[in-house]
Amino acid sequence: MDQVLIEGLSLETVIGVYDWERTVRQRLELDLELHTDIRPAARGDDLSLTLDYAAICQRLADYANDNAHGLVETFAERVAALLIDEFGIRRLRLTVRKPGAVAAAQAVGVRIERSAD
């Protein structure tokens, strides 16, 4: 299976379990590996036959802007479900990083793999 990659997608959202975190927007960074068969799109040079990464990025930006979560884990699960449901993605790997969340680390986060099956 081929993969459409989106790396280093930066989104602003309300995320965190501490009271102060619920009052500010914080940056999350996402890496996505979206499994699909690119051959039909490549054959006809047809965007409608593949995953439109610009549309996916915009949808994720809208989602992050409109929703708040306590845990990065919850954000990751909901984003994976959104991608599977709205874009018909059969399988994906998603990494979500929260830069600056721990002073001694560049970023903390989670990596999940989900499938429609």
pLDDT tens digits for range 75-103: 999 999 999 999 999 999 999 999 999 99
For the full predicted model, state whether its pTM sits above 0.75.
Answer: yes
Q: Is 98 a catalytic residue?
A: yes
End-to-end Cα separation, the chain, in angstroms: 15
Q: Which of 69, 97, 98, 114 is catalytic?
A: 98
Q: Are 31 and 9 in contact (CB under 8 A)?
A: yes
- In tens, the pLDDT along 32-60 reads 999 999 999 999 999 999 999 999 999 99
Domain positions in the chain = 2-115
Topology (CATH) of 2-115: GTP Cyclohydrolase I, domain 2 (3.30.1130)
